């Protein structure tokens, strides 16, 4: 089965073609895992660097420009093209596609509209079943892409992205229970906001990670919030960094935050970046540890979402859960930690495996803030 997957929930326009047999019974068969035939991602990061963040209207327009060329390139890379009679051009060979998958929630409304409307139109035009895929499921299923080993159930997924911070328990494919979530900001959003305070470029996550390399993570003490159960809070950490920077450079709290970075030396920026990165990691891993104590039958830990690219977090996670009785830890390949369509195809593969019905392309709704279920 070949699945065309489309992703446009934020500022990446992406298409991929995934192949495999969701119903393969032979346990040695490669086809029982989703394999990537093509994977195209066009990022708008360069546009938004100039603004320091995503402008939803601009993102939607950029998706509109990019989406058909991106899909066409996914067909070309997969070798799914046929030559046109009487011309030297090639067109997409839709006879090779068995299903279309598209991100329908959560995300920016205008961005989601472009991807979903494109997918709905193509599904109707070419008579293909349409699978509407939840974006966070896709981030989790990035861990099943071409990996030698795949996670075992029951598992705990730590979803850490630009818009979400959640611990999700899965007892089987396509079975999700949110057991912890942020009460305010997401951890990725916190990386982005702290980067702004430190005058580091967008997107903040990689900038902080880079700046932190020369920093002392013990230099500034930042608080770990005392939030009940398995929930998170990150807005206090962002404010704690702001107050610590104001104190360090000796200005009142009324001082304009966008001018603070001018008063910091490069070393101070690195020390703040390292101290923040360590504290954010500690907060995440403390909750993960608590979740594991609550669910001792957990066989795998799956880290998912854009923040999973953070090398410090990866190293600290492996270090913390390194006893033989600890669950096996999985991270997505770096190229699949941020938004991409291959992970959407993988999520669709497992929806099909669990016999989820396709969506009616005439009535697909988008829900920008819907919880995974």
Interface residue list for ligand ATP (CB under 6 A): 9-10, 106-107, 135, 139, 161-164, 188-189, 191-192, 203-206, 209, 305-307, 309-310, 338-339
Q: Does an H or E element contain 42, and which?
A: strand 35-43
44 binds, among Mg ion, ligand ATP, none (CB under 5 to 8 A by kind): none
Shortest Å, Cβ 334 to ligand ATP = 9
309 binds, among ligand ATP, Mg ion, none (CB under 5 to 8 A by kind): ligand ATP
Q: Are 277 and 209 in contact (CB under 8 A)?
A: yes
204 binds, among Mg ion, ligand ATP, none (CB under 5 to 8 A by kind): ligand ATP
5 DSSP β-pair partners: 16, 101
Choice between 271 and 277, CB closer to ligand ATP: 277
Tell me which residues touch Mg ion (CB under 5 A): 161, 339
Beta-carbon contacts of residue 206 (< 8 Å; ≥ 6 apart):
309
Q: Which of these, 199, 176, 202, 171, lies nearest to 189 by C-alpha position? A: 202
Choice between 307 and 344, CB closer to ligand ATP: 307
Choice between 42 and 249, CB closer to ligand ATP: 42
327 binds, among ligand ATP, Mg ion, none (CB under 5 to 8 A by kind): none
Buried b (16+ CB within 10 A) or exposed e, 100-135: bbbbbbbbbebbbbbbbbbbbebbeeeebbbbbbbb
Shortest Å, Cβ 40 to ligand ATP = 16
Residue 39: other Cβ atoms inside 10 A? 22
The two beta strands, 177-181 and 165-170, are: antiparallel
209 binds, among Mg ion, ligand ATP, none (CB under 5 to 8 A by kind): ligand ATP
Shortest Å, Cβ 115 to Mg ion = 13
Choice between 11 and 271, CB closer to Mg ion: 11
Shortest Å, Cβ 99 to Mg ion = 22
* Residue 210 structure tokens: 């880079």
Residue 215: other Cβ atoms inside 10 A? 23
Shortest Å, Cβ 196 to ligand ATP = 11
């Amino acid at each position: 089965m070949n699945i065309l997957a489309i992703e446009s929930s934020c500022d990446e326009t992406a298409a991929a073609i995934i192949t495999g047999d969701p119903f393969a019974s032979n346990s040695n068969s490669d086809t029982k895992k989703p394999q990537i035939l093509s994977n195209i991602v066009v990022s708008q990061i360069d546009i938004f660097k100039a603004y320091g963040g995503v402008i939803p209207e601009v993102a939607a327009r950029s998706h509109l420009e990019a989406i058909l060329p991106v899909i066409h390139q996914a067909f070309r890379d997969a070798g799914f093209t046929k030559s046109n009679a009487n011309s030297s051009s090639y067109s997409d060979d839709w006879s090779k596609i068995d299903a279309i998958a598209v991100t329908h929630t959560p995300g920016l409304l205008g961005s989601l509209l472009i991807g979903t409307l494109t997918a709905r139109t193509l599904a109707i035009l070419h008579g293909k079943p349409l699978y509407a895929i939840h974006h966070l499921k896709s981030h989790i299923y990035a861990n099943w892409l071409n990996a030698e080993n795949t996670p075992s159930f029951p598992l705990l997924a730590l979803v850490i992205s630009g818009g979400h911070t959640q611990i999700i328990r899965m007892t089987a494919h396509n079975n999700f229970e949110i057991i912890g979530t942020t009460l305010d900001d997401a951890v990725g959003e916190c990386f982005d906001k702290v980067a702004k305070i430190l005058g580091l470029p967008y997107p903040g996550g990689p900038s902080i990670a880079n700046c932190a390399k020369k920093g002392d993570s013990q230099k500034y003490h930042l608080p770990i919030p005392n939030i009940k159960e398995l929930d998170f809070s990150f807005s206090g950490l962002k404010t704690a960094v702001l107050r610590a920077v104001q104190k360090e450079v000796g200005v009142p709290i009324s001082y304009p935050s966008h001018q603070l970075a001018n008063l910091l030396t490069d070393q101070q920026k690195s020390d703040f970046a390292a101290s923040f990165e360590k504290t954010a990691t500690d907060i995440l891993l403390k909750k993960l540890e608590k979740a594991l104590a609550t669910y001792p039958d957990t066989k795998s830990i799956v880290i998912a979402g854009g923040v999973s690219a953070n090398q410090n977090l990866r190293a600290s996670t492996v270090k913390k859960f390194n006893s033989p009785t600890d669950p096996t830890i999985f991270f997505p390949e770096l190229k699949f930690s941020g938004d991409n369509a291959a992970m959407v195809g993988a999520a669709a593969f497992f929806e099909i495996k669990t016999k989820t019905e396709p969506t009616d392309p005439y009535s697909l709704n988008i829900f920008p803030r819907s919880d995974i279920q």
